[in-house]
Amino acid sequence: MSRKILFITTDQMRHDALGCNGGVVARTPVIDALARDGINYQRAHSQNVVCMPARATIITGQYVATHGVWMNGVALPEETPTIAHWLGEHGYRTALFGKAHFEPWLGAPEKYYENRMARLGETGPHRGFERMELANHFYMRHSHYDVWLEQNHPDAIAGFYPMVTPQGAQNTQGGGATGAIQVWDNPMSREIYHTDWVADRTIAWLDSLPADTDWFVWLSFPDPHHPWDPPAAERARVDWRNVPLPDLYPGDATTAAQWLSAKPKHWQGYFDGSLWTNLESPRGFRPCELTADQVREINAMNHIENELIDDACGRVLRCIERRGWSADTDVIFTTDHGELQGDYGLLFKGPYHCDALMRLPLIWRPAPSANVAPARVSAPVGHVDLAQTFCRIAGIDEPAWVEGRALPVSDDEAQAQRRQRVLTEWDSQHGPVDIHIRTIYRDGYLCSAYEKGSLYEGTEGELYDLTTDPDARVNLWADSTRRSLRTDLVADLYDSLPRRRTPRLERGAPV
């Protein structure tokens, strides 16, 4: 019998959301305990800062250039081998509960299996998972959670934020006490909210397994991704009036303009609403109009959702303990990407390669039976390393198609692996605007090369010394004294990236 694997992800959670990473708002004792007893990676980066490309990297162990999911709306081809396939071929039972998003959730059900499987009464197998029960951030009629609500709690459906307008665009409607965009008073009880539902379905599946089973389960929470509409009865957990403003919240348009003037022009264009560059932010939303109280309330709702996730993780871990599996179960916790949450005066996500979006919470609590010492690892790692890590836990060979390396359990092991860099890619095309960014983090420097597109000539970029400028305010790209450093980092970036998949995969839906 091998070690079992509980893989937990959230959606759109910042590295600093957790107490173990310096968070001061949400109480996350369960996840903090995993960090205390395991390995907490301090410089983990996503390989893309939006959902579908990031999740494709997680499940394939490949860079975006290789698996080809270059932006949201591009489906991972169904024939693509996944780490779930690989583990299943080596005797593991496999399941995913919650958000998958390997296919566009605004795509037609007849085209995308994820969007019709619940209506067909099916739970897989799909993409290597023998069982999939799906949930999203809101009611879309696609998921197993949606069908469950219709059958058991139809009156609760109207409580969710109306995320998609009749025209199919993201809603800019505000709510709550401050009228903040996509904040909503949801009268739904906690027991039927999707966070607890995902935990419930995971527990039910685990309880269906024989005691001697090797299993891999992906517990994939849709929160704290916007809209921010947790059950209203849980709002008392965090008083938004007492939530501190982010250190990188500029406070006024003049300060924001000063900070953003050092960055490529789409940053300022997003802030003042003059340039809409991506669907990850609702069209018509102007971050410059956010008030300080709205930022506080948005962040309060975000952290309420984080606390509910922590509680749900505790319930699943207690199930594992009850089944007698605790000593042989590895737990890995991460998210797909971050959230701006007021940094630089911005909200949501998009083509902005900064810590708020790229830097991830990533915690690996090895099974106690493995006798691995707790550690904080500062070496750069990424999602691309997860597939090999699952193989390391399972004690099986790695498939030939993976491109990362198993996560190190200490800085000494990271040094032996010669871990020096982590890479992030961005490509997007929305109407006439296309943006292409390639980023490397190495030796404390963050360097982003902007490739030619509708806004940039291919000579622009960003370079920050995060050792002396951890907030990434001073762009050194044009600093003549750093030219040789910039040249070296860009060369290393392109030497390290794999060749891009051709032909490019088709974008089949907006998101």
pLDDT in tens, 38-73: 999 999 999 999 999 999 999 999 999 999 999 999
- Mention every residue, 6+ apart, whose C-beta is less than 8 A from residue 501: 65, 66, 67, 68
- What pLDDT score does 167 carry? 74
Question: Could you give all domains of the chain from N- to C-terminal order, each with its CATH number?
Answer: 4-418 (3.40.720.10)
Structure-token pair, residue 228: 């921010």
**CA 99/CA 133 separation, integer angstroms:** 9
Q: What is the pTM of this model?
A: 0.98
- What pLDDT score does 1 carry? 62
Main-chain phi, psi angles of 341, to 5 degrees: 50, 35
Alpha carbon of residue 183 to chain centroid: 20
- What pLDDT score does 431 carry? 86
- What pLDDT score does 461 carry? 98
> Per residue in 282-302, is it b (16+ CB within 10 Å) or e — as a string?
beebebbebeebbbbbbbbbb
Residues lower than pLDDT 70 in the chain: 1
Q: Which residue has the tokens 């292409």?
A: 436
Read off the pLDDT of residues 306-320 as tens digits, 9 standing for 90 and up.
999 999 999 999 999
Closest CA to 420 of 439, 404, 444, 386: 444
Asked if 60 and 48 touch (Cβ cutoff 8 Å), the reply is no
